[in-house]
Amino acid sequence: MQEARLAKVYAKSILDLAIEKNKLEEVRKDMHLVYDLCKENREFYLMLKSPIIKGDKKSKILEEIFKNKTDNLSQSFIQLLAKKGRANYLLEITNAFEQAYKNHKNIKEVTITSAIQLSEETIQNIKTKINQEIKDTTIEIKTKVKPEIIGGIVIELDDKLFDASVRNRLNKIKQNFLHNEYVAKI
């Protein structure tokens, strides 16, 4: 829990500074680069998490890795994290930054789960319907394929869930039969 709070504080600070310096998109690109490196390179991630490697050594490693690849503002921020002993939270901070960025830009993430891969046309139709319901918001669609829902779709937006899956309908029918007084008496 403390990690999440700490990540949000640092993410908010770099977001605010990037907005102030008019470098928001550059910093976002850099945060994506750091996030991708943490996710794709296990040795890099383990180095960040290692309590044995001191902050000044991490600082030098990070400087070499990101030199000429990131904006000066991002580079300074990463160096600050390393010097403060917070480089081990870099993955969490980049993740929190993305969420703060989306909140700032009023971008909503919608997850569509289906039993089979949906066509691009179907995804665009769903996106259009959602845009009609939610004004002044940019919608980002993520898709998942889960054959266990049998058919239909499940749409998640913020804390709302629209479950139009065949599995859900079958479960409702089952519950109706289980709680049906007339069937229970037979």
What rounded mean pLDDT belongs to the chain?
91
Class (C level, CATH) for 2-103: mainly alpha
Any idea where the domains of the chain sit in the sequence?
2-103, 107-178
Is the pLDDT assigned to residue 156 strictly greater than 80?
A: yes
Is 2-103's fold the same as 107-178's?
no
Question: How high is the pLDDT of residue 186?
Answer: 55
For residue 152, give the DSSP letter: E
- Tens of pLDDT, residues 76-95: 999 999 989 999 999 999 99
> Among candidates 42, 34, 44, 43, which has minimal Cα distance to 14?
34
> Among candidates 99, 76, 79, which has minimal Cα distance to 4?
99
Question: How high is the pLDDT of residue 74?
Answer: 95
**What is the model's pTM?**
0.80
CATH number at 107-178: 3.40.30
